[in-house]
Structure 1
Amino acid sequence: MVNYFNDFANLCFERFGNRVKYWVTFNNPWAHAKVWHTYDMQWRSKQKGLVGISLTAEWGEPVDITNQRDIEAAERYLQFYMGWFATPIFHGDYPQIMKDYIGRKSGQQGLGTSRLPVFSPQEKSYIKGTCDFLGLGHFTSRYITQKNYPSGLEDSYFSDRDLAELVDPQWPDPGSEWLYSVPWGFRRLLNFVKTQYGNPMIYITENGVSEKMLCTDLCDDWRMQYFKDYINEMLKDPLIGHMEMVTEIVIPTVCTLCILLSAVFLMFLLRGRL
C-alpha cells in the first residue's frame, strides 16, 4: 500500500503543486515517510511547498499530581496516544515507554517477540525528520490514573497502557458523551508538543464540539463559548511573545525615531533663526 499511496500523492503533487503549498499526508495516519521524501526530492525545489501530517491527541492529566504512579500513567497516555506516531517522525523510533510496556506484555503472553514492530536502523533514519509542520487535532481531555491489566487473551493497545481514563463531573456538559470542554488541557497539550518535538510549526487541523440539544433555530452559544475558551488558551503564548516584541523591539525603535525627528526639527529651527 505504501507504494500505491506514494504514486497517488506524486500525481497530486504533479497536478496541483503549482497551487497547493501545504500538504497533509494523513489525518490520523498509517503510512507517511515515503511521500515526504518523494516531495522533498522531486517537487520541493520547484513548488516551494511543505508536507506535514495531522495527528489527533487529547490531553491526559494525572488524577493526583502528587502521586508518581498517576504522573507516569498520564505520561504513558500521551506517549501511546500522540507519541505512537509523532515520536518516530520527530525522533526516529517509537517512544521507549511503548517499547517497554508492550514488550513486557508480549513476553507475559508467551510471545517470542514484541507485538510492537521494530524499526531497522535504515527505517529510523528514513522516517526521522519527515515533517515540515504538524497538524494537530484536539477536542477534549481526560484525567488519568494507574490501573493494572493482567496479561491475557484480550491484550490490546488499551490494556497495554495500564491506565484508566476519567472525567470530571464539574466539566461543562457535553453534546457527545465523550467530548467535554476542557480548555486548559489544550494549552498543556500544545506545550507538551513544543517541548517533546522541538517546537515544530503547528496547525490546528481539527477542533470543535457537538450540540448540547436539538433545536430548530440557530442556538450556537455553547459552541461559541467552546471556541472562545479554546482559542484563548491557544493564544496565550503567542500573545506573550507579541508583548515581548513590543517591549524589546517596537518601543525602542519608536523612541529612537522620535529622538532623530526631534533633532532634525531642532536643527531646521535653529538654522531658520540664524
Structure 2
Amino acid sequence: MKKLNTSMNKVAALFCFTVITFINVNALNTKPFPKDFKFGVATAAYQIEGGWNEDGKGENIWDHLVHTNPTAVANNDTGDTACDSYHKYKEDVAMLKYLGVSHYRFSLSWTRLLPNGFANKVNQRGVQYYKNLIKELKDNGIQPLVTLYHWEMPQTLQELGGFLNNNFIDWFGDYAELCFKLFGDDVTNWLTFNEPGPICQHGYGLGDLAPLYKSPGIGEYICGKNLVLAHARAWHIYDDLFRSKQKGSVGIVIDSRWFEPETNKTEDIQAAEVMRHFVWGTYINPLINGDHSSIVKEKIAKRSKQQGFKRSRLPEFTEEEQKYLKGTLDIIGLNHYSTYLISAQKHPDPDAMGFYVDCEAVARQSDDWEKGGTDWMRVVPWGIRKLLKWIKHTFNNPKIMITENGFCDNKDKLLDDDRRINYIKTYLSNIRDAMDKDGVNVVGYTLWSLMDNFEWTLGYTQKFGIYHVDFNSPNRTRTKKKSADYYKKVIATRCLTDM
C-alpha cells in the first residue's frame, strides 16, 4: 500500500496542471490539417454486411446471440441483413468516393473466411467478397484500413472457451497469417482488435455483450491477457513473414473516454489517473512496455489479497511473455466519443470484483453537457485534446490514428443533422489543437460512421451515420445527410469552417 501511495502522489503532482489548465472550447482552430493527414470513415462487418449465412459463411457469436436470445437486443433486431453491404458494397464505395476520403476502415468477418474458425477450411467465396471490396476501393483511390477482429468470434471457438482458452492465441495467429497472405499485397494498414475493453469487460465480465459470459474480475482479466498476447502473435507473424515485402503496419484499437477529476482534491486526481491506467495500462502498456501498468497491478493485487485469493486475479505475464509483448505496436488506433468526471469511492466495497469496481472510482457525466441519442453520449470536445495530450506524455508520443469518433441521435430520417456537424467540427478542432499546440502525433481521423447500422444490443435505435439507411426498405436505401456534405467540405479544404 505504501508503494501505491508513493506512486499516486507522483501522479497527483504530475497531472495537477492538466486538471486546472483552461482550454477555450469556443475557439475554432481553422489552421489547415497537414497535407499528409488522412481523413476517412469507418464501419464493421457484422454491423453493415448482412448475408449472415450466405455463400458458406459460418456462425459467429452475434449470429448466435440474436437467434437464440433475441430479447438481448432492442426490438429483437438482428444483423442478418443489416445495411446489406454484402450485396451493395459498390454503392458504399461510391459514397466513399463522393466524400473524398483517403481511407475506409472496415473489418473482416472471421467466419466468412473460415466458417468453423480454424484455418484448415477456407471459404473462397468469402475471400472473393473481400478481394472485390478491396479492389473497388483501390480503383477509386481509397486505401483500406482493415480490422481483423471487430467483436465477431466464431461460435465454434466460443464453445471451446473463446478468449478464455489459451489456444485462442494460436487460433487468432493462424487467422491473421491467412489474412496477411490473402490481402496483404493490397492492404498495408492492419488493426488486430477493436476495443479490448468492451470485448473483455462486457463480453466476459458484466456479460451484457456477446457472448454474454459473466465472470467479473476473473474471466475479463483472463480475456485481456490472451487478447494482448494474440495481438503480439499477429504482430510477430507480420514482422517475421510479411513486413519486408508488404511494408505495412499492425496496430490495435483502444476505446477510451477522457477521465477528468471531479475536483482538484488529491484523491479525485488520483482516482482519475487510476481509471486511465485501468484502460491504457491493461491493454496498451503491455504492448509498449511489456507488462500491465504498476498502478493496475498494485490495485488488483491489493484487493485480491483482501478477498482471500492466493494470488492476484489479474494474471501475470511471464518474463518470456513480457519480452514477446514489448514493442509490438506500430500505431495506436483510438476510438473516442465522450468524457467522464471521476471521483474516488468513499467506501469501496471490499468484496466486489470487476474492472469497474477494482479501480475504486466513481464515474459520472455532467448534466450541463449536451446529450446525444444514447445514455453515455455527452458532447465534451475538450476531452479529446486532454486525452491525446495524456497519451503523448504517458507513452512517449506514439503515432495515433483516430479510428472512431462520431455523434449519435435516435431520430429516424433526420437528414438535417446540425448537432452531428457541430460535434465533428468541435472535436476535430480540439484534435487540431492537440497536434498544433501540444505536439501530439495524430496522423489521421476516421469518422464513425459511414451510415446508420446495427448498434449491437441497441439494434437500429441509434443513428451514427452520415448517410441514413432505410431499414424498412428491402433495398436498404441510403440517403445523404447534411453532415456528409460538411465532412466532404472539410476533407476537400482540410479546414474547419461553417457550412
The residue aligned with 1:108 is 306
Partner of 1:62: 261
CA contact (8 A) 1:103 1:114 kept: yes
Unaligned runs of 5+ in 1: 243-274
Contact map agreement 1:91 1:129 (CA 8 A) in 2: yes
Secondary structure, counterpart of 1:115 in structure 2:
coil
Task: Specify the alignment match of 2:342 in structure 1.
Answer: 144
- Aligned: 1:32 with 2:231: yes
1:9 matched to 2:156? The reply is: no
- Distance in 1, Cα, partners of 2:423 & 2:233: 37
Aligned residue type for 2:173: N
Q: Using a 3 Å threshold, how does the CA distance of structure 1 residues 36 and 138 change in structure 2: closer, same or farther?
A: same
**Aligned match of 2:355:** 157
Task: Measure how far apart 1:44 and its partner are.
Answer: 0.4
Say yes or no: does 1:228 pair with 2:428: no
User: Structure 2: 5+ residue runs without aligned partners?
Assistant: 1-167, 197-226, 440-499
Report deviation, 1:36: 0.2
Check whether the contact 2:389–2:434 (CA below 8 A) recurs between aligned residues. Answer: no
Deviations 1:200-257 (A, max 9, x none): 111111111111x525341210111001010000011333489xxxxxxxxxxxxxxx
Contact between 2:342 and 2:364, CA under 8 Å: does it hold in 1? yes
1:94 to 288, 292, 296: 292
Contact 1:133 1:201 in 2 (8 A): yes
Residue pair 1:56, 1:82 contacting (<8 A) in 2 also = no
CA contact under 8 A between 1:25 and 1:35: conserved in structure 2? yes
TM-score, length-normalised on structure 1? 0.84
Amino acid at match of 1:230: Y
Paired position in structure 2 for 1:21: 188
* Residues 163, 217 of structure 1: alpha-carbon distance in 2 compared, 3 angstrom cutoff: closer
The one-letter amino acid of 2:242's match is: W
Partner of 1:126, secondary structure, is helix
> Aligned-residue CA RMSD in angstroms?
1.4
The answer to whether the 8 Å contact 2:339/2:383 transfers is yes
Tell me the SS of whatever aligns to 2:328.
Answer: coil
- Is 2:259–2:275's contact at 8 Å kept on the other side of the alignment? yes
Q: Which secondary structure does the structure 1 equivalent of 2:390 belong to?
A: helix
* Structure ID, larger Rg: 1
Letter in 1 for 2:354: S
The one-letter code sitting in structure 1 at the alignment partner of 2:244 is S
Say whether 1:168 aligns with 2:366: yes
1:130 and 2:328 matched: yes
Deviation at 1:4, TM superposition (A): 1.1
Decide which structure has greater helix share: 1
Distance 1:210 1:241, change over 3 A: closer
User: TM-score, length-normalised on structure 2?
Assistant: 0.47
